[in-house]
Structure 1
Amino acid sequence: MAKSLVIVESPSKAKTISKFLGKNFKVEASMGHVRDLPKSQLGIDIENNFAPRYITIRGKGAIIENLKKEAKDADKIFLATDPDREGEAISWHIAQLLNLNIEEPCRIEFHEITKNAVQTALKSPRSIDLNLVDAQQARRILDRLVGYKISPLLWKKIKRGLSAGRVQSVAARLICDREREIEAFVPEEYWSITVILSDEKNSGKFEAKFYGTKKDKVELKTKEDVDKILAALSEEYIIDKVKTGVKKRNPSPPFITSTLQQEASRKLGFTAKKTMLIAQQLYEGVEIKGEGSVGLITYIRTDSTRVANEAKAEVYKYIVEKFGKEYANPGANYASKKANVQDAHEAIRPTSIYRDPESIKDSLTPDQYKLYKLVWSRFIASQMAPAIYDTVSMDIVNNGYVFKASGSSIKFLGFMTVYVEGTDMQEEEEKTVPVLQEGTKLFLEELKPMQHFTQPPPRYTEASLIKELEEKGIGRPSTYAPTISTLLERGYVVKDKKTLKPTELGFIVTDVLKEYFSKIVDVKFTAEMEEQLDKIEEGQAKWYEVVQEFYKDFYKTLKIAEEQMEEIDIKEEVEVTDIECEFCGRNMVIKKGKFGKFLACPGFPECKNTKPLYEKVGVKCPKCGGEIVMKKSKKGRTYYGCENAPECDFILWDKPVEEKCPICGSLLVEKNTKNNTILKCSNPQCDYEKEVK
């Protein structure tokens, strides 16, 4: 009989923790939440201080009965759910179901699943933090009021299946507002003049850009402005000023939830949802050869960049051993200067820096390896010394006009030995400029006047939207991924390459909400609501008073909307194809479903024929001559197969091109590397490849 029962959320977490505890402990999983508001009704007593009515989640009956049985046989019960508001709420619900005294020390928390962390937590259990529970409860009730009051109205007035949400609707507004900025953007002409120069000692060609005069910067707006400058230039370019210096580039802090999602999007092409799914696996535990189930990274829902002293000491030792003392930065400190940061957690980091990605690669899936390597590399780099550059800048004069040249060269790589953060915008390459003396005469090698036009702001990507939500205080670490997923699933937004583009439906719903529920989609109001939830967590506000204050205005606007909102008839455009329905002969049409576009017979409901819609790649199948189309595997991986499958079994995992291998005649496929694209022979026995220019 187990003396102590430890309850966590997931079986993988239970398996990892069981390794650290002796035979006197039993670890069971609740499989996430056990109680929630009912799906079929509001579940909130508005007249009674917004009291929630929780019910057992369907399908959890057997799990709860098992927990009750194990609890009955245990001397002590420890609730070890995740260390955040949601985890605290799950523990509270479990305590209610098991009739535990929530004032007794039954709650333990740890931010990494390691032997030391778990055993230390067991030595200092605490009572359930009702402030955390209340903050989560307030968020849940606010979201339920918005969703269950506005969504039926959207169903009635616009289209069934629509939804509104406190964070979701603000995110949709940001995307729609950006698209309208792009549509309204009027490009403005401007010009630049670049000169390629060299000196008589042939120190190397370098470029300088037109600046203006010694007194002022001169804007070149038209060709006439440029022609005036060009006419005044002589052949004599003289170096007027030279400034040399040293520049430091500091490493980025270790990951928090939002930056992990952003960087995984930029560097790995992961969606926020995929990133969090894989990160959860790495946190809860992965089977490592020779070790068993191991939690590889610390808790993944955090907005703090703080690092524990023990982890700092370990990574300092590793850096000194691996790279040398000059590469270490023992004073690295990333204490957040932002307001509203919940500093209860650490940054996201490896649980042991000595468990390097290459040593455990065989135990991880390819995606787990990529994400773990990203976290591991970022954390090491964050504790390393800055990179150091030698810099040089020169003012070059020609008949009273000034051209500026600047460049840098790396002197000490520092953290860049391991990792460099990605960016949403394309960075200019560091240019090299020779260090020359003032008064040196330069020779013109090339003169390049160029016309440019200002560009509209870019559409949001998942990475840049998450960054915007975080900077504006919209949502919290746990909300970014589900928010974006909901926008895509509801059809408010589509992915255009890597960018988020609003659909007509997204514009319509956003405009309706702006007109009738302006506060719900107001960025400032939503950020202030997050601050109110933080005050509840800190014990500075009562949850039902915060909800009550919100509901007073919300109820009034809801009534006005119900009376005044007009019905909007959305007519979906139907794209007719030349593919005939094999049952009734009609031309099939393209429709959108939950999982994307598909072919359907327009004769529905008499004819219910549907079939997948595959994108052709313009290459013929070498086996049967059919078209090769893009498909998805059951796990969501893209592959390329013959349209005549299953009769024809030809498939490729890389995109084929029309060009054939000059050596063996097989199809060539595209492969993207870090710096370029190559064409490689699809025949595994052939080594032919070439770079795409």
Structure 2
Amino acid sequence: DDEKAFHGLSKRIQLITDEEFEEYTPERAAEDLRRADEDRGIIRKIRRGEFTAETIDIVKSTLVVVESPTKAKAIAYFFGRPAKRTINGFTVYEVAGGQMILNVVASGGHIFDLTTEGGYHGVIKENDLYIPVYTDIRRCNNCGEQFTDRDLCPECGSSNIRSKKNVVDLLRKLSVEANKVLIATDPDAEGEKIGYDIYVVVKPYCKDVERLEFHEVTRRALRKAFSEPRNIKLPFVQAQIVRRIEDRWVGFELSRKLWENFKVTSLSAGRVQTPVLSWVIRRVEELKRKIPAAELHLDNGLSVRLVNPPNIEDLMRKFKEGELNATVENIVFHEETVYPQPPYTTDSMLKDAAQKLGFPVGYTMSLAQTLFESGLITYHRTDSTAVSTTGIDVARRFIDENYPGLFKPREFRSEGAHECIRPTKPLNARQLRFYLSSGVLRIPQKLSADHLKLYDMIFKRFIASQMREAKVMVQEFTLKINGIEVKQNRITKILEEGFLNVNPIITTKKEAAEGTYKVVHMKVRREPT
């Protein structure tokens, strides 16, 4: 009866459960009654003592293994308020989900790593075959150092260490109790290797072991993953193994060279950091080769920039003598269409977070990890700009409600199974803060102001990518100064805002008028080429 109240209720239910109201037709009612009759028939057979596979397997126990405790908690709470039990210091969440009793537990990342004892940095060669040898990972409870093969911490000498053997024992114990094991580690090569190790650990104790893949921690994504389990992707596992061997072979050997040359054993080199350091050195050398750039301000308010102008000394002399003038001529105007940027990949997110928010790389990835595990953004380690149909639907719901008529879906297709970094809900940062503070949305971790800043940046970029283009007026003119002719252009007016309503990445400048003007301010500095 009250459409406004129904809309508000529908939106809140959708935010909490990822469910939408659908028309309940007579056909659906008949199907529900048929299933209810089937269930009653099974119950009658059980009461008569007629135990068959159909009656016994009404509810199955399923073990779900993820990487982080935060994600384990978030997934468990999707199905209701879970019970918690502690086994040898590990938290296991138990909750009913449809016809399954789910036990959700975290592995805490990798459980095995290459040994440092035997072979060539953990790799044995036999009959032209290279065999990597793995052992359990250990961590010092005092200083947090991670290592293998030692009973004492190599960093602080403490014997207060914990081994991933305890995780192996836990997973085996839980697998014995389960009808099925679902491995839900992260959807990348590292996650696939962790999933493979878990598979090897639990397979002897539970015959039914499968892999789940999802790129966002939401009910909808989980339901889809549960309905489409797959096998372990061995090429991903092999790629990670080769990469880890490269880490050892390249890193250990280069580090030893550094120790020998500089007599400092704290120095290290590696598969990634060494070529990156080489790139940094080349860039520093390039930055040393600088050229002059002049910033000029005219008495009509126009600002222009000349890069590497000839006779820079003559320009400076005339300015000091008050004789430097500039002429603006050949003014033309034309319209241009400005298209939105694609959604974020990992590298573009890190770049903007550094430039716009001042966040270091490691800090940004930590914030993004929390947002991902809280079910607020998709997986943040990706080189893809692709947008799924689910992502397009998120954008449509927000744009249709807040900017009617500006929705324009784009898939930004790219190779691979990964998706761009995007929000999972049609909520901007202000709305997200409100729903969290009011208790409508509940997440496993409390968000800081910096979490919300990063979320806001990701949200605006993604929503803008699904909106109509902007149209702007561009002014072009020729600037003549001291015998130099420079073509200049500037955006003077926004004709149609389009995506700029959400992500205002364009600033307009004052129109220039033809004529000759005096240079009233001049600043010269040397810039990298």
Counterpart CA distance in 2 for 1:240 and 1:105 is 74
Contact 2:184–2:213 (8 Å) recurs in 1? yes
Counterpart CA distance in 2 for 1:364 and 1:388 is 37
Aligned equivalent of 2:393: 313
Counterpart CA distance in 1 for 2:305 and 2:527 is 21
Contact 2:180–2:207 (8 Å) recurs in 1? no
Alignment of 1:619-630 (within 5 A): none
1:171 correspondence with 2:276: yes
Counterpart CA distance in 2 for 1:354 and 1:109 is 25
Aligned equivalent of 2:412: 334
Q: Match for 1:456: what amino acid?
A: P
| C-alpha distance after superposition, 1:73-125 (max 9, x if no partner) | 11111111111111111111111122359997611111111112112211221
Aligned equivalent of 1:55: 135
1:220 to 293, 310, 322: 310
Contact 1:191–1:449 (8 Å) recurs in 2? no
- Using the size of structure 1 for normalisation, the TM-score is 0.54
- 1:60–1:219 Cα change, 3 Å: closer
| C-alpha distance after superposition, 1:354-408 (max 9, x if no partner) | 4743324645222222222222222112212223221222347899986766432
Contact 1:208–1:404 (8 Å) recurs in 2? no
Contact 1:406–1:431 (8 Å) recurs in 2? no
| 1:207, distance to aligned residue in structure 2 (A) | 3.0
Alignment of 1:110-121 (within 5 A): 110-121=214-225
Counterpart CA distance in 1 for 2:495 and 2:316 is 38
Alignment of 1:199-238 (within 5 A): 205-207=300-302, 219-224=309-314
Aligned equivalent of 1:32: 109
Aligned equivalent of 2:469: 386
Counterpart CA distance in 2 for 1:399 and 1:189 is 16
1:74 correspondence with 2:172: no
Counterpart CA distance in 2 for 1:5 and 1:334 is 36
Counterpart CA distance in 2 for 1:66 and 1:155 is 41
Identity %: 33
Q: Match for 2:265: what amino acid?
A: R
- 1:277–1:2 Cα change, 3 Å: farther
2:355 to 263, 266, 272: 266
Counterpart CA distance in 2 for 1:189 and 1:264 is 30
| 1:443, distance to aligned residue in structure 2 (A) | 5.9
- 1:33–1:323 Cα change, 3 Å: same
Aligned equivalent of 2:332: 243
Alignment of 1:90-129 (within 5 A): 90-100=194-204, 106-129=210-233
Counterpart CA distance in 2 for 1:210 and 1:43 is 58
- 1:100–1:376 Cα change, 3 Å: farther
Alignment of 1:542-621 (within 5 A): none
| 1:40, distance to aligned residue in structure 2 (A) | 5.4
- 1:24–1:222 Cα change, 3 Å: closer
Alignment of 1:106-505 (within 5 A): 106-158=210-262, 159-183=264-288, 185=289, 187-188=290-291, 195-196=298-299, 205-207=300-302, 219-224=309-314, 241-285=330-374, 295-325=375-405, 327-330=406-409, 332-336=410-414, 343-354=416-427, 356-360=431-435, 362=437, 364-395=447-478, 406-407=489-490, 408-420=492-504, 430-433=508-511, 442=515, 444=517, 446-448=518-520, 450=522, 452-456=524-528
- Using the size of structure 2 for normalisation, the TM-score is 0.69
- 1:310–1:176 Cα change, 3 Å: same
Counterpart CA distance in 2 for 1:334 and 1:61 is 44
Counterpart CA distance in 2 for 1:377 and 1:192 is 32
Contact 1:35–1:55 (8 Å) recurs in 2? yes
Q: Match for 1:357: what amino acid?
A: L
Judge which range, 356-365 or 20-29, deviates more: 356-365
| C-alpha distance after superposition, 1:286-315 (max 9, x if no partner) | xxxxxxxxx111111111111111321331
Contact 2:247–2:271 (8 Å) recurs in 1? yes
Contact 1:209–1:403 (8 Å) recurs in 2? no
Contact 1:210–1:402 (8 Å) recurs in 2? no
| 1:69, distance to aligned residue in structure 2 (A) | 0.7
Unaligned 5+ runs, structure 1: 197-204, 212-216, 286-294, 337-341, 422-426, 458-693
Q: Match for 2:432: what amino acid?
A: P
Counterpart CA distance in 1 for 2:390 and 2:77 is 22
| 1:156, distance to aligned residue in structure 2 (A) | 3.0
Counterpart CA distance in 2 for 1:443 and 1:149 is 66
Judge which range, 75-84 or 115-124, deviates more: 115-124
